[in-house]
Every structure is written in structure tokens, then in C-alpha cells.
Structure 1
Amino acid sequence: METEAPTLPCAPSASNPPNHARRGKQSNGNSHSLGSVCSSCPSANSFSPWCRYMSQSRHVEARELMYSGALLFFSHGQQNSAADLSMLVLESLEKAEVEVTNELLENLAKVFSLMDPNSPERVAFVSRALKWSSGGSGKLGHPRLHQLLALTLWKEQNYCESRYHFLHSADGEGCAHMLVEYSTSRGFRSEVDMFVAQAVLQFLCLKNKSSASVVFTTYTQKHPSIEDGPPFVEPLLNFIWFLLLAVDGGKLTVFTVLCEQYQPSLRRDPMYNEYLDRIGQLFFGVPPKQSSSYGGLLGNLLSSLMGSSEQEEGEDSPDDSSPIELD
């Protein structure tokens, strides 16, 4: 149960959450009910400092007011009110077209960390925050914000969502440490190789060779159940090791033989060949999937080998080819 609403530094309090707030009486220039302060009422006659600041394009003041108010509400257990103010912080960022900075990303991540993990408001907040952080580029959000979100979710032991955000960050080392904890606390001993294999393949699907290499090296060095390598006892780990070397070389013939030789290991997860189809397109010049009498990964590889020799140079496929779902 939420406690009594606190008083904002710049405005006297009212105990109702913003969504149900009533406008308070004005006694002086700084005397507004908390309901008025938190309201997003678009009325030009509103006494809300938020509305006044926004109408005057004083976005910094509006944002700082809402941010400090949100933190105050969180500290008093007022989740609903804090979430409403947090959304107004984002609104001020969107309307002001503010440049993305580390400070702003850290503020958004702090708000995210204080929200109830099970609240629908948190889902809406993170979706909107990531969209803003992309700067209209159409990408999936700023890598630094993804990293901060991943760290918060890791602390909450929400490993699946943490892994998703690590994939869209540049923190391969952090991802590896999280995966070690995930594997040792939730996985089977027989699956230690699969945790990192999936991450490496997904990083490569996102054209992030550097993080793919870092997550593999760190994970295999830090996991208590993996013996020193390479080479490794687990065939799947050897495949990933060879794959990373092949990506650097860009030779399609090497990639083809590698995938053929390790098919027994690759059949452990039906998604592996899907990822490898995409990796083949990105790094080895394999054409996108098309109807073929062969079908599947090896069919694509054979079609490529029988095609033009220029594919051997491993040019990247167009960026608009269909992405794979990385869930």
C-alpha cells in the first residue's frame, strides 16, 4: 500500500495521485497542489508549473521539476504518482529535442530501476525511453541505455530481459558475467555451452563481432564448469571458437565446411541454423533465403558456392534484409 504523498520542494502537497488530482488553490507564485504540479493538463489557464514551463519552452526546468518529484515519490512508495511524473520527464525530452547525454541516460535508468518490475507503467516507460534515446535514427535505442537497463535487470535476476538489453549494448564482458550467473543458478550442467553459443550467434546477427568475441572469451574463462581452452571438451564451444575465426577471415568455404562438420551440435537448438543463415549473409556473402530444391542452411551455402565467385570476398548483404527475432 502506498504511503501518504510527499511534498515536492517547489510546491505544497496533495495526497491524490496525478491521474486523479484536483487543482489546488493558489496562494502565491509557488503555491500549487501536488495534483496541479503533476498534472499534464494542456489548458493554457492551468496553474501547473509543468504546464507553465512547457508553454514557455523552459524544458530544463520542467524536466528537473518532474525528475526530482518522481524520485521523491519513489522514496515514499508512491509508485503510481512517480510513474506519471517519469512519463512527463520523457515528454519534456521529446518536445525539446534534447541531445542524448550520459547524464540523461543515467537519470532515465535510475527511474527505471525504482519502478515496480511488474508494473505496466515500467514497460511503457522503457519503450518510450529507448525510442527517445535512438534520436530518431530508427535503431533500437542507445547502447549505453541498454547497458544500464541490462545491469538493473541483472540485479533483479531477470536474466532473459537482461540478456536482451546486453545484446543491444556494447558490453560483451558484462553480458558474459551475467550469463555465467544465469547458467550456474538456473541452467543444467549439460547446457553450459548453449548459454554462450546463443549470445555469440545473436551478437553476430547484429554485426557486433567485437562483443561476440568478448562474451565468448570472458564466459569460457570465468565459467566454473568449463575447462581451459581452446580447444574445449564441448564440441559446440569449439564450433563457436572456429566460427569467430572464420568471421575474421571471411572465407565462405571455411564457413560451409564448419557448419557441415558440426551439424550434430547445431541440431541441439533449431534456432542455430537460422542464426547461421543470417551470419552467412552478413559476413560470407551468402544470398538471402529463397525457394530451392536444397532448402535450409546447407542449401543456401551450396547455392552460393555454385554462384558467382565474387561471393567469396564476403561482402555484407544489404542492411534491409529481414532481421532474426532475438528474444
Structure 2
Amino acid sequence: MPNPVILTGDRTTGPLHIGHYAGSLRNRIRLQETHEQYLLLADTQALTDNASDVAKVRDAVLEVALDYLAVGIDPAKSTICLQSHLPALAELSMLYLNFVTVARLERNPTIKDEIRARGFGRDIPAGFLCYPAAQAADITAFRAGLVPVGADQAPLIEQTNEIVRRINAACGRPVLVEAEALIPEAGRLPGVDGRAKMSKSGGNAIRLSASADEISAAVRRMFTDPGHLRAEDPGRVEGNVVFDYLDAFEEDRAEVEALKARYRAGGLGDSVIKRRLEDILQALLAPIRARRAELARERGYVLDVLRAGTHKAQAVTRDTRNEVVTGLGLFRLCAPEMVAKEANPDAGGKDLFTHA
């Protein structure tokens, strides 16, 4: 039996941070041993709210790819591919938009929350509003049965499956497979300021490529318990960012629980728990930082990885697109030689991978 297919990935809006590592990257390293895993560099999706800064999205492609490889994503086990270079995804997105209403897109809880958070009002980029259909295209094109997402993203998987059922009904047979959301036990890490989730744009994240000094500075300014003024005072663990991070990264669970008990009872200063956390983060990120710096000097290798992964993904997604349009009866409108030519496209022309 073939390994179950997983689709995951990240928007290319900047380098990744330790929140990505805790929430998804370390899980992807484990899953690549047991699943057929595709990692999508979602540059097209990143444009839905970054169209005014295309350069940022373009430049972040290599940044995210470097982070993937530095943490241990193995291109021999996981396929890393570039969304904008997979034309079948755009074609499927357009098809799927005919099987969903604007009202249903607007009711999607994930989209509603994101629209509110970004303050779009009614000035919503059309691509952003239509993201559920585009994500459905991504998931179904790779025939992914599992999609690792946070709990807040589960409504997108539900809407994907609604579209799958409508397409299958229109085709009269099960052309597409439904996907299951794979929700991690750990929630999202808060930012070091304790006021919001950690984000690349919020200035409250620790990048995977952070220097030793940057890690130290970030830990020093971490939000703890504002009422814990002296070491002997009882402190609150809930909402204390340092303990959130210890929960995420300290492997000795018994030690974390012992520290929490001492902090609650009084007698444990913030400097002690911050020092413990800094030691853990320094040990975690030092080899990632070194490997990333080494890979950054091997741009040709990184581009080769993206090229090979994207070419493999082009074939997979094109096959799914062909099955969908055939199931819908649309290939009857196409000359057979057009289909044959697409299966062996011209190698000429330039793309991202040929740039110096």
C-alpha cells in the first residue's frame, strides 16, 4: 500500500520562527518517515494580502526553503514545491469557484476572523476571499488525505470536503478524495510580548535563524506575571509566556511541572526560568542556524531541490486536473494533440530556477 499523502506548507512572507517549529516543522520531520509528504511554498497565496509588496513574497521563497532544509526536512523524503509554478492549481481553483457561493465563502469562520484581524472591511482582496477554494485546489490536486492545520484552520478543510463532494457529484463518480484535518496537540505559541500569537510581521517572534544575542534579548523581554515582583512572591503560570515556551520545548516534563509548582508557591524568580528557557533555545537553534548558513552558500543546491520537487508536483497536480476536467466532460472540447503536448511541455524559457 502506498504511504498516505500529506499536504502542508507555508506562505512565503518571511523567514520562519520557533512557533512554526513547535507547531508544525518538527511534526513534518517525523511524518516524512511514514507518509508521502508535499510541502507547498505558498507564494501565490501570500499575494492575496501582499500584492503591494511582490518582492517580499518572491524573496521569501528561498528564505522558507532554507528553513525547511535547515531543520531537517529531507528532499529525498519530502517534496518541496513552489505554488506559483503549478498551473494546475490555478486551473482547479477557477473550476472550484463555480461550485461554491460568495455567501458560503464569507461565512467561513477562518476567513471571517482573518478579514476582521486585517481590518479589510469591505475592501477584501478577491483572492483572499476566495482562498478556501484555492486551498481546496491545493489539497485535492495532491490527493492529500491528511492536512496538518491548527484548530482555527479546520473550517477550511470542511469547506474543501464540501467542494470535493460537489465535484464528485457533478462527475458522477468519486474523482477526488476527502481530506482529514490533522490538528496538533500543542496550540499556537504566543509572541514574546504575550499580547498576540507569534507572527513574522508582528515583531514578537524568534526566527529560526536568530543569532545567540537575538535569542538572549528575546528571552529577557518575555512577558511573565506582572504581579510576580519578587522571587518569594507566588506567581501565575497561566498566561506566562516563559512557561508556554517551556511546555513547548523542554523535553523533561517532570522538571517543567516542578518549576511550575515552585513558581506558584513562591520562591522562584523570573530570571531562573528565563535562564532555563534560554539554554534550551540556544541548544535547539544553534545547529539549525549553522546548517542554514551553510545552505545559504549553496544556492544552486537549494534551487535544484525546488526545481526537482516542483517538476514532480507539476506531474501529480496535472494528472488530478486532467481527471477532474475529464470527469466534468470538459476534455471533449479539447483536441487530443493539445493534451499530449501538455504532458511533454517545452523545456525552453526562464523561470525562478534559472535566475542567477
TM-score by length of 2: 0.22
Q: With CA pairs under 8 Å and 6+ residues apart, which has the higher RCO, 1 or 2? A: 2
| Structure having the larger proportion of residues in strand | 2
TM-score by length of 1: 0.23
